[in-house]
Amino acid sequence: MHGSSLYRIKAADLADEGLDAKTLGQKVERYSAKPICDGISIDKDNNIYLGDLAENAIGVIKPDRSYIRLAQSTELSWVDSLSFGPEGKLYAVVNQLHRSAALNGGEALSKPPYFLIESKLWPPDCLAVTQVVEVGEGFDNREYLVSQPAMGGIGLTQRCHTMTKS
């Protein structure tokens, strides 16, 4: 999470009970640089999506190992639990974990809204938030074009329409 590198190892090596700890350790490979993150998911094209915690963003490490920020907003406060659904949409929660009592000397600093985000991926390298569910209250379900690298990685609140209560 706090490291600046992403590592990988083959599943076959992990399953090989004949490898001792030292040999197994030598099989670990640094894959790429990454931001401080939580929540990681990989798509069918080997793009690695993650919650970019320090930047309130969602980013992707592409197969060429380069990183781009797809969406950024103060409303994306601790994006976590990224996962792809069967229809290929990317889901994530925005849980403000860093504001929880456990991480703030017993004082809960998080405040609603908390979000469940559904999004679809549009080439080239674009993320469209198609549904935002706010815990406890309704949120509009309009589609938002979030960011395109050609536009300098502009974030959610600058590119199109900000997420607003309906």
Q: Give bridge partners of residue 144 from the DSSP assignment.
A: 129
Domain architecture of the chain: domains with CATH: 1-33 (no CATH), 36-159 (2.120.10.30)
Can you give the pLDDT at residue 14?
94
Q: What is the full per-residue pLDDT of the chain (166 aa) written as tens digits?
A: 678 999 999 999 999 999 999 999 999 999 999 999 988 999 888 999 999 989 988 899 999 999 988 888 888 888 888 988 888 888 888 888 888 888 889 998 887 777 777 777 755 456 666 555 555 444 444 444 333 333 333 333 323 333 333 3
Taking residue 69's Cβ as centre, other Cβ atoms within 10 Å add up to 20
Can you give the pLDDT at residue 89?
82
